[in-house]
Amino acid sequence: MEIQVLGPLSAEVNGASIVPTAGKPRQILALLALYPGRVMPVPTLMEEIWGTKLPESALTTLQTYILQLRRRLGTAMGPGAPGTAKDVLATRHGGYLLQIPQESVDVHSYEALAAAGQNAFDEGDDERAADLLRKALDLWQGPALVDVRVGPILEIEVLRLAESRLVTTERRIDVDLRLGRHTELLAELTELMARNPQHEGLHSQAMVALYRSGRQATALDVYRRLRARLIGELGVEPSQQLQRLHQAMLRVDPALDVVAGPRRSSTFDLYAA
C-alpha cells in the first residue's frame, strides 16, 4: 500500500485506488493513514466525523464505514493476497488501525528526511542539508489533505503539517543562502512573503537575499513595508533581531556576506541578542 496525504489524499494497493468518494470514509482513511500501526480509538474517529454532536447510530455507522473501506481494500488486494483486508485494516480493543509500514505513507518519509536535513544543518554540512531538505519538500503535492473535509482532529494535523512545511522551507532557504544561492531564491521568497505577510523570518531571508544580490534599496524597502504592516495591523514594532538586521544593512556590515556568520545559525538569528 502507498498512501499520500501531503496534497490530495491518495491510497493505492497494487496500483488500484482504495480512496472512497464519500466524505466521512475519506476522513477515517486519512486519520488512520497518519498513524500507521497505531490504534485509533473509536471515540477519536467519532469526534473527527461528527464533532461533539454524535448521532444515536454513530457506532453502527462508523462500523459501516470501516466495512466499506475493507471492501475496497479487499478488491484491490485480490484473491491471491497473503492476508485479508481485515488483517490490514484491523480491529483492536477500542479502535482500529492500519497495519502497514510507516514508510508506506509519504508524511513519515517527509518527516524522516526533514529530521535528517536538520541534523546535517546542525553539523554544518550544508550541501547534504540542502539535498535532504529539498527531497523532503519535494514530497508535497499541495496543502495536506487538500481534498478531504477535515473535522476537529484532522484540522489539528493539517495545521501541524503546514507549520512543519513552512519551518522546513525556512531551514532549506537558510542553507541555500549559506551556499551563495541568494539570486535563485528571490522569486520563491517573494511568493512566500505574499503568502505570509507578517512572517519576520521569511522577510529577513528576503532582505539578505536581496542585499547579497546588490539590491540594498529593495532589501531596505522590504523592512519598511513589513514594519508599516506590523504597526498598522498589530500595533507592534519588528523584533529586535530584525531591527538589528536592518541597521546592519544600513552600515554595510561584513557579517552579512555569504561566508560570514555562525555556521549553525539561521538567517533570522544573525543578529540575535
Looking at the structure, tell me whether residues 6 and 96 fall in a common domain.
yes
User: What's the whole-number mean pLDDT along residues 209-215?
Assistant: 93
Domains in the chain, number: 2
- Domain extent, residue 97, equals 2-102
User: Residue 225: enclosing H or E segment and its boundaries?
Assistant: helix 216-234
pLDDT computed for residue 229 by the predictor: 96
Q: What rounded mean pLDDT belongs to the chain?
A: 92
In a domain? residue 195? yes
Residue 113 near residue 133 (C-beta atoms within 8 A): yes
Q: Is the pTM of this model over 0.85?
A: yes
pLDDT computed for residue 254 by the predictor: 87
237 DSSP 8-state letter? P
pLDDT computed for residue 272 by the predictor: 59
Beta strands in 18-158 (DSSP E): 40-41, 89-92, 95-98
pLDDT tens for 162-171 read 999 999 999 9
In a domain? residue 33? yes
In a domain? residue 145? no
pLDDT tier, 83 (very low <50, low <70, confident <90, very high otherwise): confident
pLDDT at 82 over 80: no
CA distance 116 to 66: 36
In a domain? residue 72? yes
The count of other CB atoms within 10 Å of the CB of residue 87 is 13
pLDDT at 270 over 90: no
Three-state SS sequence of 101-120: CHHHEHHHHHHHHHHHHHHH
Question: Domain boundary residue among 102, 129, 162?
Answer: 102
Residue 27 near residue 49 (C-beta atoms within 8 A): yes
Question: Domain boundary residue among 102, 132, 166?
Answer: 102
In a domain? residue 47? yes
Looking at the structure, tell me whether residues 9 and 98 fall in a common domain.
yes
Query: What CATH number did the domain enclosing 56 receive?
Result: 1.10.10.10
In a domain? residue 197? yes
Grid cell for residue 131: 539535498
pLDDT tens for 226-269 read 999 999 999 999 999 999 999 999 999 988 886 555 555 677 77
User: What's the whole-number mean pLDDT along residues 202-212?
Assistant: 95
Query: What CATH number did the domain enclosing 206 receive?
Result: 1.25.40.10
pLDDT computed for residue 239 by the predictor: 94
pLDDT computed for residue 234 by the predictor: 95
In a domain? residue 123? no
In a domain? residue 199? yes
Question: Domain boundary residue among 102, 124, 154?
Answer: 102
pLDDT tens for 9-66 read 999 998 899 999 999 999 999 999 999 999 999 999 999 999 988 999 999 999 999 9
CA distance 130 to 113: 11
